[in-house]
Structure 1
Amino acid sequence: MSNFWKSLMTVRCIHTCRTSLRETPNNLKGKSVSSQKWLVRQLKDPYVELAKQEKYRCRSAFKLLEINDRFNILIPGLVVVDCGAAPGSWTQVAVKHTNADGSISNKPKGIVFAIDRLPIYPIDGATVVGNMDFTTQLAQDTLRNLLNGKQVDLVMSDMAPNASGVKHMDHDNIIRLAYLALKFALHISKVNATFLAKLWDGGQSTQFEQDVGKFYKNIKIVRPAATRDDSSEKFVLAKGFKGLKTS
């Protein structure tokens, strides 16, 4: 049994225990309604507790862990770029599974780059670029300089805009981010590389998936178990980059 599925069993145990206890926060006084809802949801979410136990910075680590467990996109020795990385949980997973920290002596050592417009505390084994917006040319040029001619095995994007509550606007904004990540990936990836990007359901999702399919051999739409029930989140996983024609 893989470590991810062991963790998932632990999640189910935590969820069962918490459901039976019906815990509620005792520090809601003076907080806005939205803050109260967030605190209640966090307390009831077993992935939040498990992330603390496993020393991941955020529950989203379990989304990438499941995707990797199912599709084997992270192996020792790979070069990975993590776009929209803050607070760093996907980067932590990437470092561990590519051996970027050199913790497995008999396996090749990977390279992981992480970028976000928010600050990112250092992560052993990763090159972190915080306070820099991936959508700018400066940020992308910075990543290219750090790569120093290396081609990338995996570009992954967990980028998402700040939700406005206007569904079509939020969808348009996350599609824009996904296209920017895709364009970047097409120019830095090696042949047969992998691309992973987060989307929210909406009218442009199908077109984006079709456009990705023009450049990659295999496309899958993945909704990990750690995705919350009330979320329209899904991930486009593209494997087998065909390369770009240069003539």
Structure 2
Amino acid sequence: MAWRGPGAAGSGRSLVSLSLRCRCFHAAVALLKRKTGADHQWLERHLKDPFVKATKQQNYRCRSAFKLLEIDDKLHILRPGLSVLDCGAAPGAWSQVAVERVNALGTDPTVPTGFVLGIDLLRISPLDGAVFLSETDITDPSTLRTIHSLLPAEKVDVILSDMAPNATGIKELDHQKLISLCLGLLNLSQSLLKPKGTLLCKFWDGQDSRLLQGRLKEQFQDVRTVKPQASRKDSAESYYLARLYKGK
């Protein structure tokens, strides 16, 4: 909210907003002082993170929105009129980006209107322009039938996956579990993805990354590794972008 001075209309709301921001800032500083070691470092980094600040300013649900925004700005995987399946959608930030980019709300009448369907094991708060399957397991065979019943066409143009398993703290085990999720999603692509469609999936680097990459290359004409700037430098997180699906 812009500062308008003590005599301007709405100055009372500005003063209240400023007071609330000050209290939130001081509370965060006080919390930071109580933390030590790894907790202290994480919170300090979080407070300084420019993507965290931008998330609040632009009303995205979490900072991961900027990963998809950066990938799409460079590689143009989302266009008006496309249908999108967002896997691991909670809390809904990637779906927010997809709704904007495919014109799912039809806000621009000069271009086609797209469709966004999000799914997650967790609850996802409603979002205008998107359909959500909350508390739903994409690996359950019955889920595939539900997805088909909701799609405007039998298959989608783009599958997005920011899915990740609950971390155990054992790096190699967590890596293997995420690769298994990605391989399962690749199998589902046979039933869900249109020919020449696109799959974007998160993975954690490790010994099975090449296995996943090889499987993707068998089914897509173009496969590349993407590491957006919004992914923290010390994170093992990267994305495989697979385009031009060979499926029938």
Q: Give TM class, smaller chain.
A: 0.7 to 0.9
Residue 224 of structure 1 pairs with residue 228 of structure 2: yes
Residue 202 of structure 1 pairs with residue 206 of structure 2: yes
Could you tell me which runs of 5 or more consecutive residues in structure 1 were left unpaired when the two chains were aligned.
Answer: 1-23
Cα offset, 1:188, TM superposition:
1.4
Equivalent in the alignment of 1:4: none
Could you tell me which runs of 5 or more consecutive residues in structure 2 were left unpaired when the two chains were aligned.
Answer: 1-27
| Secondary structure of residue in 2 paired with 1:55 | coil
State how 1:232-247 maps to structure 2 within 5 Å: 232-244=236-248
**Cα-to-partner distance string for 1:59-110 (whole Å, 9 max, x where unaligned):** 0011101111111100000010000000000000000000001111111000
Larger radius of gyration: 2
Amino acid at match of 1:56: Y
| Secondary structure of residue in 1 paired with 2:29 | coil
Residue 178 of structure 1 pairs with residue 159 of structure 2: no
Equivalent in the alignment of 2:17: none
* Separation (CA, whole Å) in 1 of partners of 2:65 and 2:190: 25
| Secondary structure of residue in 1 paired with 2:31 | coil
Q: Is the Cα contact below 8 Å between 1:25 and 1:39 reproduced in 2?
A: no
Instruction: Name the Cα RMSD after superposition.
Output: 1.7
Instruction: Using the TM superposition, name which of 55-64 and 138-147 deviates more.
Output: 138-147
Runs of 4+ aligned structure 1 residues displaced above 6 Å come to 29-33
Equivalent in the alignment of 2:158: 154
Equivalent in the alignment of 1:76: 80
| Secondary structure of residue in 2 paired with 1:156 | strand
* Separation (CA, whole Å) in 1 of partners of 2:88 and 2:176: 17
Q: Give TM-score, length-normalised by structure 2.
A: 0.84
* CA pair 131-34 structure 1, distance change in 2 beyond 3 A: farther
State how 1:61-210 maps to structure 2 within 5 Å: 61-147=65-151, 149-210=153-214
Q: Is the Cα contact below 8 Å between 1:83 and 1:114 reproduced in 2?
A: yes
Amino acid at match of 1:195: L
* Separation (CA, whole Å) in 2 of partners of 1:166 and 1:53: 35
Q: Is the Cα contact below 8 Å between 2:155 and 2:194 reproduced in 1?
A: yes
Q: Percent identity?
A: 44
